[in-house]
Amino acid sequence: MKRSTIGVFDSGVGGLTVLKALLELIPGADYIYFGDTARLPYGSKSAETVAHYAVGAVHFLQEHDAELLVIACNTATALALDKIKLAAHVDVVGVVEPGAQAAAAASRRGKVAVIGTEATIASHAYRRALEARGVEVLEKACPLLVPLVEEGWVDHPVTEQVARIYLDEVFSGEFADADALVLGCTHYPLLKPVLARLAPPHVVIVDSAESTARVVAASAVAQSGGAGEQTLHFFATDSVEKFRRLGERFLGRAIQDVQHVDLKE
């Protein structure tokens, strides 16, 4: 039987945390990953711009035979999922609904905090998805965390200090008793140990990358795994060398087959 091909889209290397979760749960599929490294960060851009970039990437992945699209980027999902779905002729899974679903299930008190980029938080996509499940929500933009992770400072005192300031603001006042924290950004899974240490002990950390992989694993495309050796193809719009170097930290394994791609405007 032919193996299925799953397309994964992100603004850069961060979405490799989602690919990592997919590879663990669905080892029987082939993957094609598109990282728009030339135009990142998406987290500070407008919805129009992000939708325009995302639709271009979706066309690219479909032309390369993706049978299911995973929008690994929280910002692209939050700002452009509707437009992406309109442009796609295969099924599309974003990260917000799976993350919200897992958080609603994890929170006993029905009180959830969400952290993400400026754009994700300003869109209130997580708020809508959680409130639709009867959960109270506090959203907090943490724009300094992405550059700190890209710098490789996941275990650095400066990052710990920054994360402490953000989390103190989240878990104070009315939300001191919130009991779930959604990592609403591709980069935050790398900070899970420090965030778990700094968050109050009763807080469950919900990784939207893992929740998304579980949703994808339940799809028909993921279940039609075939024989043969797995292929992983990577495309980046900026330096292939930088993608490889940075990406290995997010994926947790060596990255070989990266090609440069220049999407025409």
Q: Which helix (H) or strand (E) holds 71?
A: strand 68-71
What minimum distance in Å lies between the beta carbon of 187 and ligand DGL?
Answer: 6
Name the segment binding ligand DGL (CB under 6 A); options: 81-89, 113-121, 158-166, 230-238: 113-121
225, burial (CB in 10 Å: exposed 0-12, middle 13-18, buried 19+): middle
Q: Tell me whether residue 56 or residue 116 sits nearer to ligand DGL (CB atom).
A: 116
Which of 37, 120, 123, 212 lies at the binding interface for ligand DGL (CB under 6 A)? 120
Pairing verdict, β 111-116 and 91-94? unpaired
Residue among 185, 213, 236, 255 flagged as catalytic: 185
Is 75 near ligand DGL (CB under 6 A)? Answer: yes
Which of 6, 22, 23, 40 lies at the binding interface for ligand DGL (CB under 6 A)? 40
Q: What is the spatial distance between Cα 179 and Cα 136, in angstroms, rounded to a whole number?
A: 11
Residues touching ligand DGL, count (CB under 6 A): 18
Q: Tell me whether residue 49 or residue 224 sits nearer to ligand DGL (CB atom).
A: 49
Q: Tell me whether residue 171 or residue 250 sits nearer to ligand DGL (CB atom).
A: 250
Which residues in 2-21 contact ligand DGL (CB under 6 A)?
10-12, 14
Q: What is the spatial distance between Cα 12 and Cα 39, in angstroms, rounded to a whole number?
A: 8
Is 35 near ligand DGL (CB under 6 A)? Answer: no
Q: What is the spatial distance between Cα 73 and Cα 25, in angstroms, rounded to a whole number?
A: 19
Q: Tell me whether residue 10 or residue 179 sits nearer to ligand DGL (CB atom).
A: 10
Q: Closest residue to ligand DGL, Cβ-based? A: 43
Q: Tell me whether residue 186 or residue 237 sits nearer to ligand DGL (CB atom).
A: 186
Q: Look up 185 and say whether it is catalytic.
A: yes
DSSP letter at 188? Answer: G
Is 146 near ligand DGL (CB under 6 A)? Answer: yes
Angle between helices 16-25 and 240-251 (to 10 degrees): 50
Q: What is the spatial distance between Cα 73 and Cα 136, in angstroms, rounded to a whole number?
A: 24
- E strands present in 104-177: 111-116, 136-141
Name the segment binding ligand DGL (CB under 6 A); options: 23-31, 51-59, 72-80, 133-141: 72-80
Which residues in 192-251 contact ligand DGL (CB under 6 A)?
none
Q: Tell me whether residue 120 or residue 212 sits nearer to ligand DGL (CB atom).
A: 120
Burial code of 48-74, b = ≥16 C-beta within 10 A, e = fewer? Answer: eebbebbbbbbebbbeeebbbbbbbbb
What minimum distance in Å lies between the beta carbon of 163 and ligand DGL?
Answer: 16
- Are residues 263 and 237 in contact, defined by beta-carbon separation less than 8 angstroms? yes
Query: Quick one: tokens of 243?
Result: 């993608």
Residues carrying an active site annotation: 73, 185
- Give the interface with ligand DGL as residue ranges (CB under 6 A): 10-12, 14, 40-43, 73-75, 116-117, 120, 146, 185-187
